[in-house]
Amino acid sequence: MAVSPLHCPSPPAWLEHVLAHFDLFLLDHAAAEKKAAGMALSMLSHYPDKDQLVTAMSELAAEEMMHFREVVRLIQERKLRLTADEKDPYVNEIRSWMRQGSEAYLLDRLLTGAVIEARGAERFGLIAKELEAGVVRRFYQSLARSEARHYELFLNLAFAYFPAQSVDARWQELLAAESRCMQSLPIRAALH
């Protein structure tokens, strides 16, 4: 799996809280997968002229919807039901950092996508480590690998469309900001 680029790890209190309220966590997790698919679709609609991006985002949307389907399966097995989407303060905060201007906006969309995926990969990996051996643990292990691939996918797209120097500089800024944001938000039984 790709080495995590994140500047700081999630607090142990987050993991404890999620494991203690795993049913609630699953409901939020389903919503997060669905939103990730929606984000990928919105990207490819916004940039129909960028072939590499369109291909990558159509595959990503399909994969995120498969994740959603799997989480829904776990939810239904537990006799739970999906709830209406709630705001995700972490994602909203990170999305608010996107700069205007078509070039800066595309770069920021790709890099914020990458950082959100990297945090997802880290957190699914943490959950997988704590779950007892079985289907659910294997599912979270495979999700950690997928989200790490997605982080690389977004980062590679950034390098495909922009000079390495500008990608590197903005990537470091966003990673630093993400760590501050992640640490400042209250802990919830949620992916973020």
The footprint of Fe ion (CB under 5 A) covers: 33, 36, 64, 67, 117, 147, 150
Instruction: Output the six-digit token pair for 19.
Output: 């494991």
Cβ closer to Fe ion: 54 or 104? 54
The CB-side HSE value for 176 (13 A sphere, CA atoms) comes to: 6
Q: At its nearest, how many Å lie between Fe ion and the CB of residue 112?
A: 13
DSSP string, 30-71: HHHHHHHHHHHHHHHHH-TT-HHHHHHHHHHHHHHHHHHHHH
Cβ closer to Fe ion: 67 or 170? 67
Tokens 């919105």: give the residue: 42
Q: At its nearest, how many Å lie between Fe ion and the CB of residue 165?
A: 27
Q: At its nearest, how many Å lie between Fe ion and the CB of residue 42?
A: 14
The CB-side HSE value for 92 (13 A sphere, CA atoms) comes to: 5
Q: Please give the Cα distance from 40 to 60 (Å, whole number).
A: 6
Cβ closer to Fe ion: 20 or 66? 66
Cβ closer to Fe ion: 36 or 43? 36
Q: At its nearest, how many Å lie between Fe ion and the CB of residue 116?
A: 8
Decide if 153 contacts 56 (C-beta within 8 A).
Answer: yes
Nearest to 53 by CA among 179, 158, 162: 158
Tokens 């922009």: give the residue: 162
Q: Please give the Cα distance from 24 to 11 (Å, whole number).
A: 19
Cβ closer to Fe ion: 74 or 104? 74
Q: At its nearest, how many Å lie between Fe ion and the CB of residue 33?
A: 5
Cβ closer to Fe ion: 67 or 188? 67
